[in-house]
Amino acid sequence: MVLFLFVLMLLNLSKETEPVKSNWWGIAAAISAGSLLLIITAAFQVSGEAVAKNPVEGIGLVKALGKVLFTRFVVPFELTGILFLAAMVGAVLLGKREKGTDALITKEESKG
């Protein structure tokens, strides 16, 4: 989480650099969030008390999670970390693009 916040601070986003977005994205996001909330609520109602019970007796929830992540799911866990790292590097590279290069690209595209 700290690394994610560091990347956001490094991008130095402001109102001038933010592109203008239509209202359709907000409507789509609200519909998606409502659908997700409905699905999660339905899943918790169906599962009942099974969610609240600790499946491994004698071990705390954090210990059980750590044991499962670093034994059974170690490869997907590491691949997810690499994917997040690549996404943050890509975000920094896209965010720190020089302003003069955008104008050159658009002029070349309009000619071709």
Would you give the distance in Å from CA 20 to the centre of its chain? 22
Q: Is 7 in contact with 88 (CB distance < 8 Å)? A: yes
Residue 3 lies in a domain: no
**Considering all CA atoms of the chain, what is the largest pairwise distance in Å, rounded to the nearest integer?**
70
Backbone phi, psi, residue 70, to 5°: -100, 10
pTM of the predicted protein model: 0.37
Q: Which residue range(s) make up the domain with 106?
A: 56-112
96 with 49, same domain: the answer is no
pLDDT at 30 over 70: yes
Residue 2 lies in a domain: no
Q: Which residue type, as a one-letter code, is found at position 110? A: S
Residue 75 lies in a domain: yes
Structure tokens at 49: 């008390």
Mean pLDDT of the chain: 75
Q: How many structural domains does the chain have? A: 2
95 with 77, same domain: the answer is yes
d(Cα 41, Cα 35) in Å, to the nearest integer?
10
Render pLDDT for 42-97 as a digit per residue (tens, 0 to 9): 887 766 655 556 555 666 678 878 888 888 888 988 999 899 888 888 888 887 76
47 with 95, same domain: the answer is no
